[in-house]
Amino acid sequence: MKLRLGRIRITDIQFGDKTRVHRGVLYVNKEEILAALADDRLSSIELDLARPGESVRIMPVKDVIEPRLKVEGPGGIFPGFVSKVDMVGQGTTLVLSGAAVVTTGRIVGFQEGIIDMSGPGAEYTPFSRTCNLVVSCQPAPGLGQHEHEAAVRMAGLKAAATLAEAARGAEVDAWEEYECLNLAEGIKRYPDLPRVAYVYMLQSQGLLHDTYVYGVDAKRILPTLLSPTEVMDGAIISGNCVSACDKNTTYHHLNNPVIEDLYRRHGKDLNFVGVIITNENVTLADKQRSSNFTAKLAEMLALDGAIISEEGFGNPDTDLIMNCTKLEKKGIKTVILTDEYAGRDGASQSLADADPLADAVVTGGNANEVITLPPMARVIGHQETANVIAGGFDGSLQEDGSITVEIQAIVGATNELGFNRRSARTV
């Protein structure tokens, strides 16, 4: 499978009479976007803009999505939701690089977060540096929590897909090409390089802790193989409300840095053979089953090494350690990517589970660190949720509009794909 990504750099976003790109500026026609988002489950939808450096706070944030447009090849972007369920990961896809759709509105689940476009909080989230179209969704009266989540999820995906039409005919600033060989071709081309795969753990504990693969709730799957290029075409979608600091938004999935880094080394000092996606379960039996299947697939691929990334914390720590130890016992060297909940003083146990075989660990930092976010001139959404979101507490929101929270309330602050600017190391 071979995928070409055409990146169109976006440096500003403005409302205009036509949705288009001109000299790096993404112009957005409000009426066009709102028409595409009409949904009886939502009583109102509003659009706002948030640019890097502005005194703007967005909260509570449900998801962040990068606009991408499939222009050549099978399938379409976000299969199973916006497009039909065809295989993706081949052909040509255009990317509005530097732009994002951010969904907010009345809180769906308490584990939602904050994006500050300036100030100290902006240093913890990658989305302070994107040009954001913010979609504020209010649910219809009596709408259940899960339907509320589904309606906001679809609004974000539709907004991103509609916005991405601006890429059609726009000048491409940079082309990137990614190829995933079948197993036989990979062995033939790189016979002397170590075989490495990526074990991609997806949040799937239910109760608003969900991820979707080609439209299927990941809790319903057994671990399976994907081409890395399928992920870049939107095969994996966030539907969860886990703690904001380590939630993989849809934007994170589209721009997974583990996949990109493995591709940079592919054919040089390793053979990147593909992605094993696996779920994070609730019951012990389900954890054992999924980790067994993950280890079996890794052995069938004759791997020499694997990188394993987690999503979330606590209960999923057990899935992480099971995946790690079962691969290690098969002679497959592993590196695990996680973050820490080590208490505000950093002195508590970092993970809920551990094993001596997990001896190569990359951390995104301690989510319990406390920060005070200064007041912003403009708030998009509902700032009072600071008192109830994960990382916040009764009294987090001060009278002057400042907020004192743990950094777990900031979107992407300790992301376990390494999509952040913070980490820690043992010395």
Which residue is listed with tokens 């399928």? 230
Any domain includes 415: no
* Region label for 13, one of left (φ > 0), alpha (ψ between -120 and 50) or beta (otherwise): beta
Mean pLDDT (whole number) for 316-320: 95
At residue 367, the pLDDT reads 93
At residue 261, the pLDDT reads 96
Q: Is the pLDDT of residue 420 over 70?
A: yes
Q: What angle do CA 100, 50, 19 make, to 5 degrees?
A: 60
Mean pLDDT (whole number) for 109-126: 94
Active site residue 241: yes
CB 421 within 8 A of CB 121: no
Residue 426 pLDDT level (bands cut at 50, 70, 90): low
Instruction: Choose the catalytic residue: 137, 180, 241, 245.
Output: 241
At residue 241, the pLDDT reads 81
| Residue 24: C-alpha distances to residues 17, 133, 147 (Å) | 17, 15, 37
At residue 427, the pLDDT reads 64
Any domain includes 416: no
Cα separation, 251 vs 48, in Å, equals 19
Q: Is the pLDDT of residue 109 over 90?
A: no
Any domain includes 418: no
At residue 307, the pLDDT reads 98
At residue 59, the pLDDT reads 97
At residue 207, the pLDDT reads 86
Residue 92 pLDDT level (bands cut at 50, 70, 90): very high
- Residue at 376: amino acid letter: M
| Residue 99: C-alpha distances to residues 46, 91, 218, 329, 381 (Å) | 18, 22, 27, 43, 19
At residue 425, the pLDDT reads 62
Question: What range does the domain containing 205 cover?
Answer: 2-409
Residue 423 pLDDT level (bands cut at 50, 70, 90): low
Cα separation, 405 vs 411, in Å, equals 12
DSSP 140: P
Any domain includes 414: no
Cα separation, 376 vs 366, in Å, equals 25
Which tokens is 312 given?
A: 């979330």
Read off the pLDDT of residues 272-282 as tens digits, 9 standing for 90 and up.
Answer: 999 999 999 99
By C-alpha distance, which of 158, 168, 154, 163 is closest to 49? 163
Read off the pLDDT of residues 124-150 as tens digits, 9 standing for 90 and up.
Answer: 999 999 999 999 999 999 999 999 999
Any domain includes 417: no
Residue 46, CB half-sphere, CA atoms under 13 Å: how many?
A: 9
CB 339 within 8 A of CB 311: no
Any domain includes 349: yes
At residue 47, the pLDDT reads 98
At residue 347, the pLDDT reads 85
CB 127 within 8 A of CB 412: yes
Any domain includes 104: yes
Mean pLDDT (whole number) for 217-222: 96
Mean pLDDT (whole number) for 233-258: 95
Any domain includes 421: no
Burial class (CB in 10 A: 0-12, 13-18, 19+), 138: middle
Helix (H) or strand (E) holding 196: strand 195-203
Number of separate domains in the chain: 1
Q: Is the pLDDT of residue 424 over 70?
A: no
Q: Is the pLDDT of residue 203 over 90?
A: yes
Read off the pLDDT of residues 357-396 as tens digits, 9 standing for 90 and up.
Answer: 999 999 999 999 999 999 999 999 999 999 999 999 999 9
At residue 3, the pLDDT reads 97
- Three-class secondary structure of residue 162 per DSSP: helix
At residue 390, the pLDDT reads 92
